[in-house]
Amino acid sequence: VVFQVIKCKAAVAWGAGKPLSLEEVEVAPPKAHEVRIKIVATAVCHTDAYTLSGADPEGCFPVILGHEGAGIVESVGEGVTKVKPGDTVIPLYIPQCGECKFCKNPKTNLCQKIRITQGKGVMPDGTSRFTCKGKQIFHFMGTSTFSEYTVVADISVAKIGAAAPLDKVCLLGCGISTGYGAAVNTAKVEPGSTCAVFGLGGVGLAVIMGCKIAGASRIIGIDLNKDKYAKAKEFGATECISPEDLKKPIQEVLVEMTDGGVDYSFECIGNVGVMRAALEACHKGWGVSVIVGVAAAGQEISTRPFQLVTGRTWKGTAFGGWKSVDSVPKLVTDYMSKKIKIDEFVTHTLPFDKINEAFELMHAGK
């Protein structure tokens, strides 16, 4: 088989703070243990916007962003056995090699096999598969889904059922899996429990869905944007409140509302002040608070140690704790059998060339 360089459209981020630019790029063939994918659908996520803003210390430009995608395998490099051309796949920003000590440990999903090169915006061999106007373009999060074709490591793909609608299941590449897993894997929410979810974007809604599926009896949604309350209730929130309407700090109000605090709280914003509030809203003796949102570089969290001495637990989660290659196909199956929602998360579907509008809608909270 003679592999060809593919010319296609991609949204290139030439520099921090600039809009994405739709360009013709060249996508090189996959090398050993790499997979080239025709991306059918991609979603936008705050993490893409965070890197685009220039605040991400790992951000390198020019780059093709995007990490919530789904597509069809176009070709595979030497030594690839798990997928073949024509397979339906979801690229994974947290791979699963099955060999590193992280993959062998059931307590974590943070495979470290290609972490260093991925963070530098290159493939495991240290080079890029993208060029544009004669310049090398960096990869992003090992996925780069804002391109009609992308190349990923073979440990960074989940093969899924061919019947799955790709414009929906692409969301399992990050947001929905992250929020849902934060509730069911990281917090391990129990039936009858009381939960508080800070931030009612896509991730927060997925946390609410997870809490509800786990049998929580009370789920309190917290957001400044009241336009998000109706959707949160549709997903299972029993009530919603805005910190702006309160005379006291949100954690004090939650402690009063819940006779001592919530059993589980989730921070889905990436704001260190809210992270503190979420911990302090937890019940003494057993409350668990999970940090889901990613704070900007260099920020630090604080609370009084007494909060932890008196029995609260502070946890964090990445990609909802799912071992990616094993779990994403199962999440697709759960969606196809209507155990979890995805369609309800989709507010807008736009053509690829309107990608900057998609970011505007996200920033506007729409």
- CA 28 from chain centre, in angstroms, equals 27
Which stretches of the chain are assigned E, i.e. beta strand?
A: 6-13, 21-27, 34-43, 63-64, 68-76, 88-91, 130-132, 135-137, 149-153, 157-159, 194-198, 218-222, 239-241, 264-267, 288-291, 313-316
Domains 6-173+323-364 and 176-319 share a fold: no
Which residue(s) pair with 158 in the sheet?
A: 90
Output the pLDDT for position 276. Answer: 98
Backbone angles phi, psi at 227, to 5 degrees: -65, -15
Greater model confidence, 233 or 2: 233
Per DSSP bridges, beta strands 6-13 and 21-27 are antiparallel
* Residues 252-288: b if buried by 16+ CB within 10 A, e if exposed: ebbbebbeebbbbbbbbbbbbebbbbbbbbbbeeebb
HSE, CB side, 13 Å, CA atoms: give it for residue 53. 12
Output the pLDDT for position 2. Answer: 66
pLDDT band at 365 (very low <50, low <70, confident <90, very high): confident
Instruction: Determine the CATH number of domain 176-319.
Output: 3.40.50.720
Distances (CA, A) of 216 to 105, 161, 184, 211, 301: 29, 31, 11, 5, 27
DSSP string, 101-136: TTTT-TT-----TTHHHHHTTS-TTS--SEEETTEE
pLDDT band at 1 (very low <50, low <70, confident <90, very high): low
pLDDT higher than threshold 90 for residue 56: no
Reported as a single tens digit per residue, the pLDDT across 235-289 is 999 999 999 999 999 999 999 999 999 999 999 999 999 999 999 999 999 999 9
Output the pLDDT for position 57. Answer: 83
Residue 62: asked if its preceding bond is cis (omega within 30°), the reply is: yes
Output the pLDDT for position 139. Answer: 98
pLDDT higher than threshold 80 for residue 198: yes
What is the mean predicted confidence (pLDDT) over 85-91?
A: 98
Token representation of residue 35:
């997979």
What is the mean predicted confidence (pLDDT) over 10-31?
A: 97
Pick the CATH number of 6-173+323-364 from 3.90.1150.10, 3.40.228.10, 3.90.180.10, 3.20.20.70: 3.90.180.10
The domain spans of the chain are: 6-173+323-364, 176-319
Token representation of residue 259:
């006779």
Output the pLDDT for position 119. Answer: 95
Distances (CA, A) of 201 to 91, 208, 267, 360, 363: 22, 11, 11, 14, 11
365: CB partners within 8 A, 6+ apart: 201, 225, 227, 228
Q: What is the pTM of this model?
A: 0.96
Output the pLDDT for position 324. Answer: 98
The H or E element containing residue 187 is none
Considering only 121-125, 165-169, 359-363, which range has the smallest mean pLDDT?
359-363
Amino acid (one-letter) located at 156 = S
Angle, helices 272-280 vs 250-257, to 10°: value is 20
